[in-house]
Chain A
Amino acid sequence: MRIVAEDLTYIYNPASPFAVKALNGVSLTVEEGEFFGIIGHTGSGKSTFVQHLNGLIRLPSSLKKRKRPRGWKNIPPAVLKVGDFDLADPKTDFRALRKSVGMVFQYPEYQLFAETVKEDVAFGLKNFTEKGKAKPTDEEIAAAVKDALHVVGLDEGIAEQSPFDLSGGQRRRVAIAGVIVTRPEVLVLDEPAAGLDPLGKREIMELLHRIHGDWCKTVVIVSHDMDEIAENCTRVAVFSEGRVVRCAPPAELFKDAASLLALGLDIPLTAKLTLALEKRGISIDCDYTMKDFVRRVLARKGGGQ
């Protein structure tokens, strides 16, 4: 499913003294099959944007008249489409949309609640039945839970345990399993690796690559970790003050390190090294993944080109 946003604006507490414009005309397209990155400062509108993608925040035009916020007419009309779902249309089946767009929030392990891992993972599946379709049988649920636990790299034996007896990294996997169990086409994750140790971070990113493709066609991550972005993403959107100020593949984006630094954002280590080498009169043209950087540096060893 392709994600298309045009001129998306969102104001918290509209028509009040506390009004904050979180999104100010965001236009962005994410193609099906991408591993898309969203970066930007705290407060730049990243989370507000991703919350639109599965209808947690609704466009005023998709709401019943009496539920529309005051002053909504002053907000320019926006386009927001996820595949065939038109999020500006009140007739859209938002339940079906939420099944297709999985959302993993920051620190999802804090949202676990059930007595066993099995029940926790099954919750979404039991509650996302589309209108007019039969509820999944117990066997179907058991099979889906098993598959989901398998793909996030958890042992089946864990299914009967309490999620609260697991380690932080394991709990996060359970939480992700609980989202992907409905087989969403698009998976959106807000800071999926935050708070984990370096090894845990690597494992989570490997897990996302395993999910990306067969399981969820499109993956969108919000991250502060530029190395993570450089290593994993096909394209990156840079949010600043509610707007998308850049949108490019990492290889292009990090070439212009100065503009990112000016926004107060960090750059990946490979980009820092490239800059440091430039000062020494050596230019390395790489895509800013570690592998490519090392390869190109080694090729220059002993004066090679």
Chain B
Amino acid sequence: MNAIEFRGVDFSYGGDFCIRGLNFSVGEGEFVAVLGHNGSGKSTLARLANGILRADAGEIRVFDTILDDKHLFDVRKQVGVVFQNPDNQTVASIVEDDVAFGAENVALPREEIGRRIEFALRAVGMEEARKSTVARLSGGQKQRVAIAGVLALKPRVMILDESTAMLDPRGRREIADVVLRLNKEEKITVVLITHFMEEALLADRAVVMNRGEIVMEGKPEEIFARSEELLTYNLALPRIGLIAKSLREGGMSVKDTLDIEKLADEIAEEIVCGS
């Protein structure tokens, strides 16, 4: 059974089609990274998957439940979304109140909410901040609280829509660790929308979107090795890819890789062999 399945989905914001005839599926327990330049339809995909937006045509299923008006709230309980700006997603001033917000709104019993808060904060490594003021946390910590708020609903799928874009390198690492752990230990299906190639590397599979369609799909390493193709979709190469490309243009036979050690090996070979 697929966690998320799009079949022939169209969507437009009123003008041109933003998503066109999209077929996309995410297996249960899978970790998928979605890449694409601004306006490629990545965020629309996230919003369609938990019913914030309604598809114009086609069918979206979440664990075999068709996403329609009747099942909208069932689906939302299963699919949690974390957005870009942590400040826009916190509603309460104290961490535990914020985490409880979603759970309170689906009218869970009080004791259960307490357990969920504990579980969610432990999962994101913030149990010590339970009574802290949200406003006094760092960006990475705030975003972990936002994730905990989603986790308290025990979703089976978690979509992160550029959730690390506003964080500093340390905050990005914190979130990446949490997401990876949720996927591996809690078996939560993850869809990670990101601009950071290093984060996409954590995924089992990566897809590249362009003009509302999926244009590349495969293991993240394979996708990044197809550097010329990435450029045609307006995606900048990761820096290491740019360096490898320039070296090739200068006559060195180095392969595309995202591994610094590998590239260093290849450069070393070229330098030492010739001498």
Q: Which residues of A contact B (CB under 8 A)?
A: 41-43, 107, 167-169, 194-202, 224, 227, 264, 266, 269-270, 272-273, 276-277, 279-282, 290-291, 293-294, 297-298, 300-304
Per-residue contact bits, chain B 244-275, to A (CB 8 Å; 1 contact, 0 not)? 00110011100000001101110110111111
Instruction: Find chain A residues with CB under 8 A from B242 CB.
Output: 290
Max chain A C-beta neighbours (<10 A), residue from B270, B271, B273: B271
Number of interface residues of B (CB under 8 A): 41
Nearest chain A residue, comparing its CB with the CB of B197:
A198
Q: Is the CB of A269 within 8 A of B243?
A: yes
Q: What is the bound-complex CA distance between A42 and B167, given in angstroms? A: 10
A199 to B210, CA, bound (A): 14
B165 contacts partner chain A, Cβ-Cβ < 8 Å: yes
Are B260 and A272 in contact, with the CB atoms below 8 A? yes
Query: Which residues of the partner chain A approach B239 to less than 8 Å between Cβ atoms?
Result: 227, 269, 290
CB of B170 within 8 A of chain A? yes
- Residue of A290, A294, A300 near B271 (CB, 8 A) is A300
Q: Which residues of A contact B275 (CB under 8 A)?
A: 302-303
Binding site for A on B (CB under 8 A): 37-39, 84, 138-139, 162, 165-166, 168-171, 195, 234-240, 242-243, 246-247, 250-252, 260-261, 263-265, 267-268, 270-275
Assuming the contacts A197-B236, A301-B274, asked whether A273 and B246 have C-beta atoms less than 8 A apart, the reply is no
Question: Is the CB–CB distance between B264 and A198 below 8 Å?
Answer: no
Q: A42-B170, A277-B267 are in contact. Are A294 and B236 (CB under 8 A)?
A: no
Residue of B nearest to A200 (CB): B38
Please name all residues of chain B whose beta carbon is closer than 8 Å to the beta carbon of A293 when the two chains form the complex: 243
Tell me whether B168 and A273 are in contact (CB under 8 A).
no
Contact B251 A298 (CB under 8 A): yes
| Inter-chain contacts of B274 with A (CB < 8 A) | 301-304
CA–CA, A239 to B90, complex, Å?
Answer: 30
Distance of A196 Cα from B38 Cα, bound (Å)? 9
| B205 CB → nearest A CB, Å | 20
The reply to whether B264 and A280 form a contact with Cβ atoms under 8 Å apart is yes
Give Cα A197–Cα B196 distance, bound, in whole angstroms. Answer: 8
CB neighbours of A201 from chain B (8 A): 236
B168-A224 in contact (CB<8A): yes
Assembly CA distance A266 to B176 (angstroms): 17
Q: Are B38 and A301 neighbours in the complex by a CB distance under 8 Å?
A: no
- Please state if A264 and B170 are interface contacts (CB–CB under 8 Å): yes
Q: Is the CB of A302 within 8 A of B271?
A: yes
Whether A195 touches B166, Cβ cut-off 8 Å, given contacts A42-B139, A227-B239, A273-B264, is: yes
Contact status A41-B236, CB under 8 Å: no
- Residue contact A297 to B268, C-beta cutoff 8 Å: no
A269 touches B260 (CB 8 A): yes
Q: Is the CB–CB distance between A298 and B250 below 8 Å?
A: yes
Contacts of A301 in B (CB 8 A): 250-252, 270-271, 274
| Residues of the B chain whose Cβ atoms lie less than 8 Å from the Cβ of A266 | 169
In the assembled complex, the Cα of A202 lies from the Cα of B235 at a distance in Å of: 12
**B195 nearest in chain A by CB position:** A197
Q: How far is the CA of A270 from the CA of B84 in the complex (A)?
A: 29
